[in-house]
Amino acid sequence: MPEIGIAGLIVILIVALLVFGPKRLPEIGRSLGKGMREFKDSISGQDDKPELPPRSGDESPPPSTP
């Protein structure tokens, strides 16, 4: 199987730019990076943020006393 060199990567980036456009390309890269980071964290078992229970919308803030 041939290796992808610098020229191959440039061709792939140009094709991606033509297919998705300049507005969508950063958005796709951002979501791809986020997905890879979440996958890596789930494989390694590391959690940067502790999971909090979902907050229900019917809770009202505590009343303030003057």
Question: What are the structural domains, with CATH classification, of the chain?
Answer: 1-44 (1.20.5)
Dump pLDDT digits (tens) for 17-56. Answer: 999 898 898 898 899 999 999 999 888 876 556 566 666 6
In the prediction, which pLDDT does 7 show?
92
Burial 1-39 (b: 16+ CB within 10 A, else e): eeeeeeeeeeeeeeeeeeeeeeeeeeeeeeeeeeeeeee
In the prediction, which pLDDT does 66 show?
67
Query: What pLDDT band is residue 57 in, cutting at 50, 70 and 90?
Result: low
